[in-house]
Chain A
Amino acid sequence: MLNMIAGPMEQFTVKPVGWLPNITVGGLDLSFTNAALWMVIAAVGVSAFLLIGMARAAMVPGRMQSMAELSYEFIANTVRNNAGEEGMKYFPLIFTLFMFVLFCNLFGLLPYSFTPTSHIIVTFALAALVFLTVIIVGLLRHGLHFFSLFVPSGVPGWLLPLIVVIEVISFLSRPISLSVRLFANMLAGHTMLKVFAGFVVSLGAAGGIMSAGAILPLLGIVAVTALEFLVAFLQAYVFAVLTSIYLNDAIHLHEH
C-alpha cells in the first residue's frame, strides 16, 4: 500500500493532457501539457474575474466588483509608490504579471491541479521579460546615459572599478533571483505539503496507537496550507514590487 503513494516530487511532472492528441513536429514534442493547460486556466480565470466583476459596474460596487477594484487599486498604489507617476505607463504590464502569477499560485493549491510557477522555466521567462523591458525602457529614455546606472554617485575614484563590477553583477543577477525566488517558494511549499501527507499515510498504516498519531501531521497540513495561501499572494506581490522597483531604476536612474 505504501508503494502506491506518489513521491513528493511527482506532482511537478509535466505530461501531455490525456484528452488531446499528442503533437510531434520534426522530432519535437509539442503536445498540449498540463503546464500549458493550467497557464491557460489562469489566464482565463484572470479575465473572467475582471470581466465578470466589471460587467455591471455600479457606483456602489457589489462583491465581485469591489474585489476587482481592490486588486486594481492595490497594484496601482504599489506602482505609484515605487516607480512614481511616470511608472504608471507600465501599470498594465505589472498588473498583468501580478494577476497571472497570483492566479497560477492560487490555482496550484487546488487538489489535483498543477502549479506552472513551480517550474523555473516559466518564472524565468517572466523574469526575462521584466529584465529586457527594463533594459529597453532605460535605453529608449536615456540612451547610452542609461549605463550610468552602474556608477553610483559620491563614490571615491579609487573604489569605482570595484563598485562598477559589483553593480553590473548585481544587475545581471536580477532575473535569476527574481525567477528563483518565485519558483523556490512554490516548489518548497508544495513539496512540504506532500511530505506531510506522506507522514499521515505511513503513520495511519502503522496501526494501533500510532494510527491515532496521524492526526498531528494532518493538522500540520492544514496549517501549512494556510501559510501557502499567504505565500502565494506574497510572492505575486513581491514579483510586482520588484518589477516596479527595477522599472523605477530605468526611468529615473539616480534621481530619487
Chain B
Amino acid sequence: MEAEAAKFIGAGLASLALLGAGIGIGNIFGNFLSGALRNPGAAASQNGNLLLGFALCEATGLFGLVLAFVILFG
C-alpha cells in the first residue's frame, strides 16, 4: 500500500473516536432527562454538571480529531 493512502485510512480511523463521543453525549443527556423527569425539582440545580459532562465528553472525541490532523498534516 502506498504511504499516502495509508495516511488517509489512518486519519479516517482516528475520526472513529467520534463514535465514543456520540455514545457518551447521548448517555449524558438521556440519563439527565430520565433523572429530571423523575425529580423535576432537582433538575435545575444539575445544569452545571450536565454541561460539564457534555463538554468533557465532547473533548474526548476531539482528541481523535486532533490525532487525525496530526496524521494528515504532522
At the interface, yes or no: A164 with Cβ under 8 Å from chain B?
no
Pick from B54, B58, B66, B73: contact of A180, CB under 8 Å: B66
- Which residue of B has the minimal Cβ distance to A9? B73
Pick from B48, B52, B54, B66: contact of A184, CB under 8 Å: B66
At the interface, yes or no: A70 with Cβ under 8 Å from chain B?
no
Whole-angstrom CA separation of A78 from B66 in the bound complex: 29
Please indicate the chain A residues that have their CB under 8 angstroms from the CB of B29 in the complex: none
Whole-angstrom CA separation of A241 from B49 in the bound complex: 10
Nearest-Cβ distance from residue B28 to partner chain A, whole angstroms: 13
Tell me which of A78, A184, A231 has the highest count of chain B C-beta atoms within 10 A of its own C-beta.
Answer: A184
Whole-angstrom CA separation of A71 from B32 in the bound complex: 26
Q: Which residues of B in the span 51-70 have a Cβ within 8 Å of any Cβ on A?
A: 51-52, 54-56, 58-59, 62-63, 65-66, 69
At the interface, yes or no: A237 with Cβ under 8 Å from chain B?
yes
Q: How many residues of B contact A (CB 8 A)?
A: 14
Cβ contact within 8 Å between A234 and B55: yes
Whole-angstrom CA separation of A47 from B63 in the bound complex: 33
Whole-angstrom CA separation of A235 from B58 in the bound complex: 10
Whole-angstrom CA separation of A180 from B66 in the bound complex: 8
Cβ contact within 8 Å between A237 and B51: yes
Please indicate the chain A residues that have their CB under 8 angstroms from the CB of B55 in the complex: 181, 185, 231, 234-235, 237-238
Please indicate the chain B residues that have their CB under 8 angstroms from the CB of A181 in the complex: 55-56, 59, 62-63
Closest 5 CB pairs of A and B: A184-B62, A181-B59, A238-B55, A234-B55, A184-B66
On B, residues with C-beta under 8 Å from A are 48, 51-52, 54-56, 58-59, 62-63, 65-66, 69, 73
